[in-house]
């Protein structure tokens, strides 16, 4: 009886998701028709000097529609429970290894979220990763230290860690004092983090976010304490320092993929797969354009010019 009830409940859910996706597509089509109608009306009115819809940028609109169609499709697939392939990221697989090592040694884990505020997308990605790390740490019952550089990041970090502990069923183990505001001055914050590394001797240092000149200082200090270090940033000018001083490094967009990789949240997975497919389309278009230009066919390339 329970199995039959479960199947009966799943059918309306799938229909509801399909209906929801269809509604989004219909709204998008309606907006396009509305814009074209307004544009035709504006061109037919003598008093109207400018058009509401610039047909010279139709290529941009079509690509945006295609991109969002990809994203919505993969989000819908993820919500249905379909398995979406995401390649293995060794640095993230090493996080669980680092947590296990910290458990064996009875030492804390240090999580550093960079020095930028919440208006930086790398900090947002870092907070999502922090929530998943907190859930893992709560399962093994070891301390998680989170030094923060910007005041506005503090409540977000507290909530991320709290949600991680609640997801693991250990809300009583959450300690608010372990999320520490240090300083919003770059090297004052660096000095504070280095002090925590040398005093607490954490078993693992996890550094995900936006880093600048302080990256090498913190990474070298962590290396001197013998901790496992996993780092990731989209600031390419700091990647060489992390590669040299850390055990594992997430390079560029791997930082943003990490949130989907760890959480398996449908919206994040759908956005990741949709953007990957859009990049593949761009690469194919570039290859076709190069081949056609080589043979003197310029019409295809001109269509992609933005007026």
In this prediction, residue 230 carries a pLDDT of 93
pLDDT digits (tens, 9 = 90+) for 160-216: 999 999 988 899 989 999 999 999 999 999 999 999 999 999 999 999 999 999 999
- Residue 259 pLDDT > 50: yes
Whether 215 is covered by a domain: the verdict is yes
Distances (CA, A) of 66 to 22, 69, 176, 268, 286: 15, 5, 44, 18, 17
Q: Which of 4-8, 53-57, 227-231, 286-290 has the lowest mean pLDDT?
A: 4-8
- Residue 149 pLDDT > 90: yes
In this prediction, residue 10 carries a pLDDT of 41
In this prediction, residue 5 carries a pLDDT of 40
In this prediction, residue 3 carries a pLDDT of 39
In this prediction, residue 222 carries a pLDDT of 94
In this prediction, residue 52 carries a pLDDT of 66
Average pLDDT, the chain: 83
In this prediction, residue 19 carries a pLDDT of 66
CATH number of the domain that residue 122 is part of: 3.40.50
Whether 100 is covered by a domain: the verdict is yes
% of the chain surpassing 70 pLDDT: 82
In this prediction, residue 43 carries a pLDDT of 54
More confidently predicted of 130 and 89: 130
272 neighbors 257 (Cβ within 8 angstroms): yes
Whether 85 is covered by a domain: the verdict is no
- CA-to-CA distance for 81 and 79, rounded, in angstroms? 5
Whether 297 is covered by a domain: the verdict is no
Whether 213 is covered by a domain: the verdict is yes
pLDDT digits (tens, 9 = 90+) for 80-95: 888 888 888 888 888 8
Q: Which of 40-54, 227-241, 245-259 has the lowest mean pLDDT?
A: 40-54
Whether 272 is covered by a domain: the verdict is no
Whether 201 is covered by a domain: the verdict is yes
Sign, CA torsion 189/156/175/109: negative
- Residue 9 pLDDT > 60: no
Whether 105 is covered by a domain: the verdict is yes
Split into its structural domains, the chain has a count of 1
In this prediction, residue 265 carries a pLDDT of 81
In this prediction, residue 13 carries a pLDDT of 56
Domain containing 213: what range? 90-263
- Selection from 217, 211, 212, 179 nearest residue 197 by Cα: 217
In this prediction, residue 107 carries a pLDDT of 92
What is the distance between the terminal CA atoms of the chain, rounded to a whole angstrom?
63
In this prediction, residue 40 carries a pLDDT of 53
The rounded radius of gyration (Å) of the Cα atoms in the chain is 24
């Amino acid at each position: 009886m329970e199995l039959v009830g479960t199947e009966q409940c799943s059918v309306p859910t799938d229909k509801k998701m399909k209906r929801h996706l269809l509604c989004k597509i219909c709204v998008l089509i309606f907006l396009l028709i509305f814009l074209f109608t307004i544009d035709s009306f504006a061109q037919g009115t003598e008093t109207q000097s400018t058009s509401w819809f610039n047909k010279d940028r139709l290529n941009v609109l079509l690509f945006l529609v295609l991109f969002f169609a990809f994203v919505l499709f993969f989000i819908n697939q993820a919500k249905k429970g379909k398995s979406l392939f995401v390649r293995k990221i060794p640095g993230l697989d090493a996080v669980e290894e680092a947590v296990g090592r910290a458990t064996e040694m009875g030492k804390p884990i240090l999580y550093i979220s960079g020095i930028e505020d919440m208006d930086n997308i790398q900090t947002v990605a870092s907070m999502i990763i922090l929530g998943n790390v907190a859930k893992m740490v709560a399962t093994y019952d070891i301390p998680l230290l989170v030094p923060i550089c910007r005041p506005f990041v503090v409540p977000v970090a507290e909530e991320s860690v709290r949600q991680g502990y609640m997801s693991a069923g250990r809300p009583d183990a959450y300690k608010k004092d372990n999320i520490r505001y240090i300083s919003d001055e770059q090297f004052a914050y660096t000095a504070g983090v280095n002090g925590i590394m040398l005093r607490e001797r954490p078993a693992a240092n996890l550094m995900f976010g936006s880093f600048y000149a302080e990256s090498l200082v913190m990474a070298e200090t962590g290396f001197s304490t013998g901790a496992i270090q996993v780092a990731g940033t989209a600031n390419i000018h700091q990647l060489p320092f992390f590669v040299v001083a850390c055990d594992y490094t997430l390079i560029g967009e791997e930082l943003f993929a990490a949130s989907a990789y760890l959480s398996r949240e449908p919206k994040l997975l759908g956005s990741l797969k949709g953007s990957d497919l859009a990049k593949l389309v761009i690469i194919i278009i570039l290859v076709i354009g190069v081949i056609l230009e080589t043979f003197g066919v310029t019409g295809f390339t001109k269509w992609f010019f933005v007026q």
